Structure 1
């Protein structure tokens, strides 16, 4: 069992409280190579819950659908009451084509589908996974507000949303959490998105806090990826960029060694030390890696250590974009004004 004590953090001001670290479940079923054995993944989820992790993160697009089904099986027999369940909607793969959708009919249908696959009556935290730039954000949030009023959703979240989109959404219904990529190699959100969340009292959920495995394995991770691993398509994982990014890993590794920790633990601790409104959700498919991740909770970094890490992880320290144009991100998430919407 993991030995570090897992505390609690509050996300937003509407009452949502979760474990200080969550569990990202995507890689169990999708995008990071073939789906992993179901029984082993259920055992890992139960181990995480027994270790004090209560925030479980999934999405209807993981599989698609198979990750939600997996969590539904893992949450039977009294387990559901021990967790805060987060899922997402907004990336539609109907007919094999990807479409970003936030229209009311789709929002409602997606929620009903997730409830059924998860085998629950209510989703604790429901995110818009990507922002539909064809639909005013006020319209999407308006439908989510109805789902809250109907008891099908407890708290609303956004993922990969710009600062202005977050403001517009929050004006319609309180946003409890914004999910974003935040790590020592993804710091662009610090310019305006993080400050906006803090100004509005919105919790921050950091996905890929280990750089999609970069801080776990270093540059050699590229050699271990299967042919169907999504990371093979990402600019940062291309050989020419990874050779440059090696320097960041080496420096983090040096500092971690001095503290008797692994580079992944140090990178994760850096996110934890950003504040008590932040919950990173590292994903893993192995219990030993999970235990390492939970161990990061006990690492306290001094202001000097934080500054040292940030000095070696500046914006120009990493070569390659986060995405290769395959998904809309917060850089391009603006929606039309509400006045343009034709009912």
Structure 2
């Protein structure tokens, strides 16, 4: 059992309360190599809940629905009442072709599908996973608002949304959480996304706070990736970039040694120490790694230590884009004006 106290935190201003750290479930079923044994992942999920983690994060696109089905099985027999369940819609792989969708008919159909797979009557936090730049954000949020009114969704979130998209969404319905990649090697959201969230009282949910495993294993992670692990194709994980990025890992490792913790715990603690309005959702498939992640909650960093970490994790400290054009990010998520919508 993890020994650190997880604690509780408020998401947004609408009343949602979750654990101070969540559990990202994607890697259990997809993208980070082959799916992991279902029974082992259910045990891990139950261990996380027993340790005080209540925010579970999934998406309909993880494993093409299989991760939601996994969580549905894990949340039976009284477990559902102990968690806050977050899932997402917006990345459609119908007929094997990827499309980003936010039209009302798709939003509703996606929600109904997630409810069925998860085996629940209501989704606690429902994110638009990626922003459909063909549909005004007001239209998408308008349909989500209807789902809230119908009792199928409690709270609305956005993922990889631009600052203006967040503000426009808020004008239709309060946004409880904005999810973005935030870590010592992904700090581009600090310029305008995070200040916008703080101005609109959104909670910031940080995904990949360990740099997709980089701060857990360092550059040697590349040697462990299976052929079907999508990180093999990401720019930052290419050999020519990883050689440069090793310098950041080495410096973090040095500071962690002085602090008496692991590099991954230090990197995760840096995210936690950004403020009470930040909830990281590190993912893992191993109990021992989960326990280590929870241990980061007890690591307090001084202002001097925060400055030292930030000084070695500047923009030029990391080589390679986050996605390399594989997926739309907040930089490319502007939607057309509502007046253009003809449907």
TM-score after normalising by structure 2: 1.00
- Offset, 1:202: 0.4
Encode CA deviations 1:204-236: one digit per residue, 9 max, x unaligned.
000000000000000000000000001001000
1:324 Cα deviation from its structure 2 partner: 1.5
Gaps of 5+ in 1: none
Aligned partners of 1:326, 1:193: CA distance in 2, in Å? 21
- Structure 2 spans left out of the alignment, 5+ residues: none
Contact 1:135 1:335 in 2 (8 A): yes
Q: Residue by residue, what CA displacement relative to the aligned partner does 1:159-211 show, whole Å, maximum 9, x if unpaired?
A: 00000000000110000000000000000100000000000000000000000
Asked if the contact 1:270/1:306 (under 8 Å) is kept, the reply is yes
Deviation by residue 1:121-164 (Cα, 9 ceiling, x = unmatched): 00000000000000000000000000000000000000000000
**SS across alignment from 1:172:** coil
Deviation per residue, 1:234-277 (Å, 9 max, x gap): 00000000000000000000000001100000000000000001
Checking the alignment, whether the CA contact within 8 Å between 1:91 and 1:130 is kept in structure 2 is yes
Aligned pair count reads: 343
Contact 1:30 1:63 in 2 (8 A): yes
C-alpha displacement of 1:89? 0.0
Structure 1 segments of 4 or more deviating over 3 A? Answer: none
**Root mean square deviation of aligned Cα:** 0.3
SS of the equivalent of 1:17 reads: strand
Where 2:324 maps in the other structure, the secondary structure is coil
Cα deviation digits, residues 4-32 of structure 1 (max 9, x gap): 00011111000011000000000000000
Does the aligned pair in 2 maintain the 1:163–1:196 contact within 8 Å?
yes
Contact 1:58 1:68 in 2 (8 A): yes
- Structure 1 distance, partners of 2:43, 2:242, is 34
Whole-angstrom distance in 1 between the partners of 2:132 and 2:233: 23
TM-aligned CA deviation for residue 73 of structure 1: 0.1
- Residue 171 of structure 2 aligns to a residue whose secondary structure is helix
Contact 1:9 1:278 in 2 (8 A): no
Matched, 1:298 2:298: yes
Partners of 1:325 and 1:154 in 2: CA distance: 32
